Amino acid sequence: MGQDSVDRAPSAGRTSAGGPVRTCIGCREKAPRRDLLRVVAGSDARAVPDPTRTAPGRGAHLHPTQECLDLAVRRRALGRALRVPGGLDPDPVLAHLARQQDQHDPRDQQDQQGQ
């Protein structure tokens, strides 16, 4: 066991600010847990968003973007990360991302109301 492993051990899984770090299952980049959306496996073979990070069971994390969800689906990472045989339906996560986008972009809401 060298000095490198001793130096890394105390900070493993933590950012310089002291918060937990997770890996996005879509793009595979590490990010603070607060910047990622936690996803769990629902009882009906669906990927369920867990924005409060309180649902029981194994969770997987991804950036709350369409691009990272698409990558996760293409790579079949949802089922693999959540250890579910077969695939998971990503539609609930997709719907959650769409709702979040609508809430955070008031210009889209104004454009829709003006039409």
Residue 9 banded pLDDT, cuts 50, 70, 90: very low
pLDDT of amino acid 16: 57
Which tokens hold the place of 80? 């693999």
Q: What is the pLDDT of residues 62-101, one digit of tens each?
A: 999 999 999 999 999 999 999 999 889 999 999 999 999 8
Tell me which residue has tokens 């051990």. 9
pTM attached to this predicted model: 0.76
Q: What is the pLDDT of residues 12-59, one digit of tens each?
A: 555 556 699 999 999 999 999 999 999 999 989 999 999 999 999 999
CATH of 17-104, one of 1.10.1660.10, 2.40.270.10, 3.30.1230.10, 1.10.287.1080: 3.30.1230.10
Helix, strand, or coil (residue 48): strand
